[in-house]
């Protein structure tokens, strides 16, 4: 069985690989209308993902054209890594990894907004502020509890997202493949930005 450090290393290594996700599309839950740029994969443990799948939008639109190399490939790499881990019975026995992957649209402010989705399960809701037209008690859909977030490739985005996630003690992993190895975030080590 791999230690947590070896598991993270394996996950970081696999994020540099790519694979088609067409085989996996039938097992993905369609996104809710408010999260049109997201992928949800059910599991016992849910990992978050933030990737620039689209370029920055023009004229007020949040998202533009698809980004194959730096966006789609990173998303596919995360799904591929999760698939490999889930298929290996020795890595995480009786545990299935899931994912909630969101698009940053190559904008730091949009990425910050999307990262709040990852902490929704950690925020208590006060139902006294909400009233249904019928007078019944509101029913809140329970959001996924994300244990860590992978992605946010641009350093400005990584720092902003890591600062939000740090408040809720959610780990963020930033991996950028370089010629000499992996860059794992800012030059100063941070316990929440691995």
Task: Kindly report, residue by residue over 113-141, the tens digit of the pLDDT.
Answer: 888 888 876 776 666 666 777 878 777 66
Write out pLDDT tens, residues 134-165: 878 777 666 677 888 887 666 677 777 888 88
pLDDT in tens, 68-91: 887 888 889 999 999 999 999 999
Work out the pLDDT band at 60, boundaries 50, 70, 90. confident
* 110 vs 16: CA distance, rounded Å: 24
Say which range, 36-45, 147-156, 171-180, has the weakest mean pLDDT.
Answer: 171-180
- pLDDT over 60 at 191, yes or no: no
Burial class (CB in 10 A: 0-12, 13-18, 19+), 192: middle
Task: Considering only residues 175 and 9, tell me which one the structure prediction assigns the higher pLDDT.
Answer: 175
Predicted local confidence at residue 80, as pLDDT: 95
pLDDT the model gives residue 153: 61
SS3 per-residue string spanning the chain = CCCHHHHHHHHHHHCCCCCCCCCCHHHCECCCHHHCCEEEECCCEEEEEEECCEEECCCCCCEEEECHHHHHHHHHHHHHHHHHHHHCCCCCCCCCEEEEEEECCCCHHHHHHHHHHHHHHHCCCCHHHCCCCCCCCCCCCCCCCEEEEEECCCHHHHHHHHHHHHHCCCEEECCEECCCCEECCCCCCECCEC
| φ, ψ (nearest 5 deg) of residue 68 | -65, -60
What's the CATH architecture for 4-122+140-183? 3-Layer(aba) Sandwich (3.40)
Q: Quick one: which of 154, 184, 148 has its CA closest to 52? A: 154
Average pLDDT of the chain is: 71
User: For 55, what's the count of Cα atoms within 13 Å in the CB-facing half-sphere?
Assistant: 8
The pLDDT, as a whole number, for residue 189 is 41
What is d(CA 114, CA 128) in angstroms, rounded to the nearest whole number? 26
Please tell me the predicted confidence (pLDDT) of residue 12.
40
Q: Which residue has the higher pLDDT, 189 or 96?
A: 96
């Amino acid at each position: 069985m791999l230690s947590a450090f070896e598991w993270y290393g394996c996950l970081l290594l696999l994020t540099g690989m790519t694979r088609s996700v067409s085989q996996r599309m039938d097992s993905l839950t369609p996104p809710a209308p408010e999260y049109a740029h997201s992928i949800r994969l059910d599991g016992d443990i849910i990992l978050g993902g933030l990737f620039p799948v689209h370029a920055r939008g023009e004229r007020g639109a949040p998202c533009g054209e698809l980004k194959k190399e730096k966006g789609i490939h990173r998303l596919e790499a995360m799904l591929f890594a999760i698939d490999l881990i889930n298929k290996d019975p020795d890595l995480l026995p009786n545990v299935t990894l899931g994912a909630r992957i969101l698009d940053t649209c190559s904008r730091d402010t949009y990425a910050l907004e999307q990262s709040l989705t990852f902490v929704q399960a950690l925020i208590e809701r006060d139902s006294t502020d909400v009233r249904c037209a019928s007078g019944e008690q509101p029913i809140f859909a329970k959001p996924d509890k994300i244990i860590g977030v992978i992605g946010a490739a641009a350093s400005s985005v990584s720092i902003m997202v890591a600062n939000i996630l740090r408040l809720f003690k959610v780990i963020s992993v930033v991996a950028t493949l370089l010629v000499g190895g992996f860059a794992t975030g800012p030059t100063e080590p941070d316990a929440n930005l691995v």
